[in-house]
C-alpha cells in the first residue's frame, strides 16, 4: 500500500475489506491512522467502545461510498466530502455513546441475587453500598442503578450500608413498602407470608411510605428506632430498639420481636435448610420477644422449648414443633 493519505478509490477498497475481515495488518493500520486523523470527543473512550464507534463510522462511510451512480453520470466523492461525512458520523456516534447510552447500548436488565436456605451473601454495588442478604432472601437491583436513581427490590431480610449520595436517594421496595435513604445503615425484614415486617435503623435516618396508598408511614425514622407494619391489619408502630439487635443475624444472633411460633419456625427452616413444621392450636396465638445465639439446631430447639413451652421431634430430614394448646 502506498504511503500517505488514501485516495477515494483506495479508501473504498480498504474499507470494504475491513468490514469483511479480510484487510491486511498494513491496511488495518492505515484505517486506524485515517480514523485518528480527525478530531476526537473530549471523553476518552475505552478500547471496546472505541472499536464500536470505529465500526459504526466505517459502516456509514462504506454505505455512502456505495451510493449508485445516476444514469449516464457517475457520482464522485472527493476527499473533503468523505471527511465531512466522517466528522458528522464521529459527532453523532460519540453523542450516542456518551449523551444517550440507551441508543447505543441496551439498557441492562435488573440483576437478581438470591440466597438459598442456610446461605448468606454480601453484595457490593458500584457506588460502594453494601447489601448483606440473609438466608432465603432475594434482592433485585435495577438495570439503571446509579444513573437517575438507586432502586433495589427486596424479598426477605437484608442489612444495608448505604453510600451517601444526596443527588440519588437510595430506595428499597418491599412489596408496596418503600424505604428512602440518603446515607445510613439499617435492616429490613420482609419475608413473604410473614405477619409483621420491620425496618430498623442502626445509623442515620430513613423515610418509609406505602406506595399503594401513598401514605407516609414514617417521615423520619432515626437510629435505634424501628417501624413495624402488620401486613394483615396494616397497623404501624414505631418503637425504640436495642442497637445491638439491628441486623444481629450477621453476627449469628437470632432476634425475634413479637414473633409467633410459626414465624420462628420459618426462620429456623431458612437458617438450617431443613423442613420445619408446626402442629398445635396455639401456633399463631403466642407472640414472643426472644434472642439466642446460632448453635446446632438441637441446642436451639432446646432453648426455644424452655422459653416458649413447645415440644419438638427431630427427624432425619425434618423437624416437627408441637405448640401447647391455648385454653
pLDDT at 63 over 70: no
Q: Which residues is 159 bridged to in the sheet?
A: 132, 187
Mapped onto helix, strand or coil, the DSSP state of residue 123 is: strand
The domains of the chain are located at 8-104, 110-251, 252-327
Contacts of 260 (CB under 8 A, 6+ apart): 195, 283, 284, 285, 286, 287, 288
Rounded CA separation 285/305 (Å): 16
Backbone angles phi, psi at 18, to 5 degrees: -60, -45
Q: Which residue has the higher pLDDT, 35 or 193?
A: 193
| pLDDT computed for residue 2 by the predictor | 52
Which of the four pLDDT bands, split at 50, 70 and 90, describes residue 116? very high
Strands 275-279 and 318-322: parallel
Say how many CA atoms lie within 13 Å of 70 toward its Cβ.
Answer: 3
Q: Which residue has the higher pLDDT, 46 or 178?
A: 178
Q: Which residue has the higher pLDDT, 123 or 289?
A: 123
| pLDDT computed for residue 64 by the predictor | 46
pLDDT at 87 over 50: no
Which of the four pLDDT bands, split at 50, 70 and 90, describes residue 17? low
Q: Which residues is 232 bridged to in the sheet?
A: none
Q: Which residue has the higher pLDDT, 85 or 268?
A: 268
Is the CB of residue 170 less than 8 Å from the CB of residue 144? no
Is the CB of residue 59 less than 8 Å from the CB of residue 19? yes
Nearest to 53 by CA among 1, 14, 19, 96: 96
Q: Please tell me the CATH code under which domain 252-327 is placed.
A: 3.55.50.30
Q: Which residue has the higher pLDDT, 306 or 81?
A: 306
pLDDT at 40 over 80: no
Tens-place pLDDT, residues 307-323: 888 999 999 999 999 98
Tens-place pLDDT, residues 123-152: 999 899 999 999 999 999 988 898 888 999
Nearest to 82 by CA among 1, 2, 15, 22: 15
Tens-place pLDDT, residues 235-245: 999 999 887 88
Rounded CA separation 188/185 (Å): 10
The answer to which of 96-110, 133-147, 278-292 has the lowest mean pLDDT is 96-110
- What mean pLDDT is reported for the chain? 76
Q: Please tell me the CATH code under which domain 110-251 is placed.
A: 2.60.120.1440
Backbone angles phi, psi at 232, to 5 degrees: -90, -40
Rounded CA separation 206/191 (Å): 20
Is the CB of residue 176 less than 8 Å from the CB of residue 191? no
Which of the four pLDDT bands, split at 50, 70 and 90, describes residue 71? very low
Is the CB of residue 285 less than 8 Å from the CB of residue 326? yes
pTM listed for this prediction: 0.62
Backbone angles phi, psi at 218, to 5 degrees: -155, 115
Is the CB of residue 214 less than 8 Å from the CB of residue 204? no
Region 226-253: what's the mean pLDDT?
A: 89
How deeply is 127 buried, as exposed, middle or buried, from its count of CB atoms within 10 A (0-12, 13-18, 19+)? middle
Amino acid at each position: 500500500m502506498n504511503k500517505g493519505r488514501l485516495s477515494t478509490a483506495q479508501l473504498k477498497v480498504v474499507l470494504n475489506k475491513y468490514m469483511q475481515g479480510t484487510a491486511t495488518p498494513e491496511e488495518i493500520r492505515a484505517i486506524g491512522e485515517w480514523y485518528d486523523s480527525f478530531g476526537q470527543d473530549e471523553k476518552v473512550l475505552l478500547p471496546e467502545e472505541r472499536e464500536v464507534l470505529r465500526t459504526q463510522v466505517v459502516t456509514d462511510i462504506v454505505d455512502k461510498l456505495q451510493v449508485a451512480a445516476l444514469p449516464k453520470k457517475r457520482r464522485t466523492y472527493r476527499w473533503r466530502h468523505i471527511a465531512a461525512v466522517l466528522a458528522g458520523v464521529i459527532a453523532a456516534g460519540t453523542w450516542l455513546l456518551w449523551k444517550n447510552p440507551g441508543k447505543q447500548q441496551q439498557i441492562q436488565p435488573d440483576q437478581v441475587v438470591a440466597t438459598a436456605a442456610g446461605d448468606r451473601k454480601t453484595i457490593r454495588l458500584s457506588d460502594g453500598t453494601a447489601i448483606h442478604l440473609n438466608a432465603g432472601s432475594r434482592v433485585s437491583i435495577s438495570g439503571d442503578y446509579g444513573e437517575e436513581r438507586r432502586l433495589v427490590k427486596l424479598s426477605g431480610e437484608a442489612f444495608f450500608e448505604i453510600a451517601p449520595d444526596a443527588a440519588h436517594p437510595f430506595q428499597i421496595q418491599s412489596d408496596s413498602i418503600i424505604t428512602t435513604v440518603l446515607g445510613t445503615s439499617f435492616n429490613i425484614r420482609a419475608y413473604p407470608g410473614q405477619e409483621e415486617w420491620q425496618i430498623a435503623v442502626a445509623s442515620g435516618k430513613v423515610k418509609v411510605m406505602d406506595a399503594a396508598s401513598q401514605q407516609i408511614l414514617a417521615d423520619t425514622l432515626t437510629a435505634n428506632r424501628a417501624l413495624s407494619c402488620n401486613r394483615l391489619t396494616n397497623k404501624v408502630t414505631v418503637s425504640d430498639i436495642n442497637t445491638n439487635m439491628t441486623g444481629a443475624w450477621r453476627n449469628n444472633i437470632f432476634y425475634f420481636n413479637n414473633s409467633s411460633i410459626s414465624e420462628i419456625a420459618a426462620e429456623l427452616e431458612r437458617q438450617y435448610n431443613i423442613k420445619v413444621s408446626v402442629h398445635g392450636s396455639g401456633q399463631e396465638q403466642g407472640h414472643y420477644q426472644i434472642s439466642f445465639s446460632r448453635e446446632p439446631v438441637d441446642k436451639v430447639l432446646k432453648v426455644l422449648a424452655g422459653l416458649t413451652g413447645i415440644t419438638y421431634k427431630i427427624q432425619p430430614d425434618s423437624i416437627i414443633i408441637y405448640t401447647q394448646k391455648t385454653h
